[in-house]
Structure 1
């Protein structure tokens, strides 16, 4: 009998051949001036089309949304055309692919911003972390608080990016609301000190996220839109006074959109899964009425069990997909898992990007 992890699943209108999802992985190989992906991205994503769904590397919705060098965009026709070559290749290989819509907020540097401007954020509070610039790792720049009159323009940027994603031939989009980036900055008390309608009580702090989800689902329909959240993660200097309360409100509010899925980072991003007293992923998962996608440190056994037990409909796995383009087959047949070269994770060319081989049983015997 086939284990449930390897059976087809539905994320809204997106029909996946299995329940293994390639999580978004920033690799810093796009053209730094145009934000366009290139030939090697076509090969990279095609090689990994065995995943039930591929979620692209985080992709900025506007020039202002950029926070690291050589990250791709999805806000110009040229960027959409470049991504179209990727989506065509993935579809030809029988895969499904969605693009992650990203605005970094305060996790940026003036050298990465249009005209060297300050990054924007809910409040003028530096994250106190580093970002990746042409000079290597540098401290994030002091941001300025978004003006109330700028919020409609920001939502329009998400709408435009969602439309460009359609032009690019994606199967859907995932809104990045996690890991200390802009939407997460608005949600959490440690980065949102606003006193207007977008700050203070959770209903106000969640307002921007819900307005963005409303705008994006109007372009795509809710059944082709996912959302990534990280309720309990301290990634990028983020914190909240009562994350359980915050995200119970958020998750319940999301049900109105009939989303394709909710993608949740369980614990600290790329770190410990342990939660503090009073924090519960299970409770949040119970509140969400649609397909649930679990993420963070899932190995083969954890993934098999989570789907079999009904904890999650999909399991998003990140770093193992870097060195194992055929990760689904390796998990299915319990084959050895290759280790990635961390020195080539960020930036560079094809080395450590498209040159990882599939498993060859004849070579291993």
Structure 2
């Protein structure tokens, strides 16, 4: 075969592969559009300005199919089923409080994706960005907006098993001080003594204020609720079998995932509330397994994600164990409420 023939064959192959790629892309877009059309009654989403300081708003990652999927969106907190205003800012994990947002997003590259933690101001403008060591998992902002925290999976992608490793970071938004890895930078205190172990993992920060927080520490096959302090750089164990804590607005209770005996290894958690003053544990009326870090909508109710037709829906349930779960926001993830207890 001549050199000219080989070149022509190569060019033909390149053209064919390019056509296949374009066709696959158009097919995927068409399927997404068709999926959007074939789910009547889905949320209405329109482009517009989203503010993190507007009072009485719910802000979240929009999961509805269409051009605004994964964008930070907003609706009135007292009319959650109303039309959504979508910002154009895409995040995989998100939280806001005190006019500061933290957005964990994917950065798409030619060969693989990377991830970045982006600090946003009240108008969702980027003020700082830090590269992440793994896949985004959790994000929180302190009530004042001065501190932010995030957790990523360095290996593994689920808390259900034991073969995962996390990295949790804390950022002072005002000074730029970054504690990159709490398991290395802080001392874990268990039963009154410093404790070191190769399998130590930290995740799921929830803030009391700019320097004090709670989180989960796992080691030796057990999990602990820890009280963290940025000044003393300590993590002190205060209760066992607590994952993904969320502190109540008055600072007296922790909502969390609790592993229960007899549950499926892939879905082992129920949603509980711990009274920090008495150590009393109260199961909520939600009896499905919850793999989320719940948010306090107010001093009485919790909001959390469960799988839905678009990937995720938000549900609410009373924190005192009464009532029943109610779906409050379809096709949504990572909620926060501006002008409320966590916003």
TM-score above 0.5, yes or no: no
Higher RCO (CA 8 Å, separation ≥ 6 residues): 1
Structure with the largest fraction of strand? 2
Structure with the largest fraction of helix? 1
Q: Which has the larger radius of gyration?
A: 2
